[in-house]
Amino acid sequence: MITPVCQRWRERRDSYRPRGEVMDPREYEVSVLPIATAKAFVISHHYSGTFPAARRSFALHRKGQLVGVAVFSHPASNAVLTKVFDGPAKESIELGRFVLLDSVPANGETWFLARTFEALRKEGFRGVVAFSDPVPRTDGTGKIVFTGHIGNIYQAHNAVFTGRGGAQIMRLLPDGSVLSARAVAKIRSLDQGWQYASKILIQHGAAPLRIEADLFGAGDDPKVWTERWVSTLTRPVRHPGNWRYAFPLQRKVKSKLPALPYPKFGARP
């Protein structure tokens, strides 16, 4: 059973449109979007408040107004892609973020997704891997900030359902957002992007990370700093793994994993 509503976002708060609405495609336009613009939109509206390692990004405009963004990214591990599709990892791609504002009618999801897949197919990409997160999340007060979803739009777009991704321990910040393991690793080793990652902790109360000596004494050891503030500001939650969907983009390409029955609304996360 697919839910009778479609999820939307605005300023990181979810809302819902009734399924069955019909958009007028003459009012909408899909185009390539600069990654910097996509990042600002996603961070402003998506519940996670984070942005993936983007490779391609597309805009959905309605009468000149940006109302949706699709970001295709490279996962932390090549195996996320090569486990699903043959060929080098660079020939496949992950749907990292998909955000529509609450003004977009229900069937705008599949229409927008189809246009982005057409563009990726023309570039020669073999397939797209997408995940849906079925596990609800709460903030530090116990308020539900994310209800979880089973991937309705992927099912409506005839994706191949291949089961779960890997189980993990999530680290939840006080507002219920996830501090990714990738972000933690970047701070610990001062890899590219560590400043952005550290700001997430600082915004939730961590002291600034001082990597050089200043008037207050020696600089911080990034490993010690990370351990201290991750343990102080986040809480661990066991996650059984996201639902994984595959979209072959080329005629001869098939998923290496067997197709399984779609998860149903109300199924155990």
DSSP state of 159: P
Higher pLDDT, 267 or 252: 252
| Between 1 and 82, the higher pLDDT residue | 82
Q: Is the pLDDT of residue 218 over 80?
A: no
Q: What is the pLDDT of residues 225-242, one digit of tens each?
A: 999 999 999 999 999 999
Burial class (CB in 10 A: 0-12, 13-18, 19+), 1: exposed
Asked if residue 129 has pLDDT above 80, the reply is yes
Phi, psi of 258 (to 5 degrees): -70, 150
Q: What is the mean pLDDT of residues 112-124?
A: 97
Query: pLDDT class for 14, splitting at 50, 70, 90?
Result: low
* Per-residue model confidence (pLDDT) at position 10: 67
Contacts from 82-85 at CB under 8 Å and sequence distance 24+? 83/256, 83/257, 84/127, 84/129, 84/162, 84/244, 84/246, 84/255, 84/256, 84/257, 85/126, 85/127, 85/129, 85/246, 85/248, 85/253, 85/255, 85/256
DSSP string computed for 74-94: --SSTHHHHTTSSS-GGGEEE
What does the block give as tokens for 143? 């308020």
Kindly state the percentage of the chain with pLDDT values over 90.
63
pLDDT at 1 over 50: no
| Per-residue confidence (pLDDT) for residue 256, from 0 to 100 | 96
Mean pLDDT of the chain: 89
- Flag whether pLDDT at 2 surpasses 50: no
Q: What is the DSSP string of 243-260?
A: EEEEEE-STT---SSPP-
Q: Which residue do the tokens 């109302």 mark? A: 67
Choose the weakest-confidence range: 71-85, 134-148, 159-173, 233-247.
Answer: 134-148
Please check the confidence at residue 177 and state whether its pLDDT lies above 50: yes
Which residue has better confidence, 12 or 21?
A: 21
206: pLDDT confidence band, cut at 50, 70 and 90? very high
Global confidence as pTM: 0.85
Letter for the amino acid at 113?
A: L
What is residue 261's predicted lDDT score, i.e. its pLDDT?
Answer: 96
Determine the pLDDT at residue 118: 97
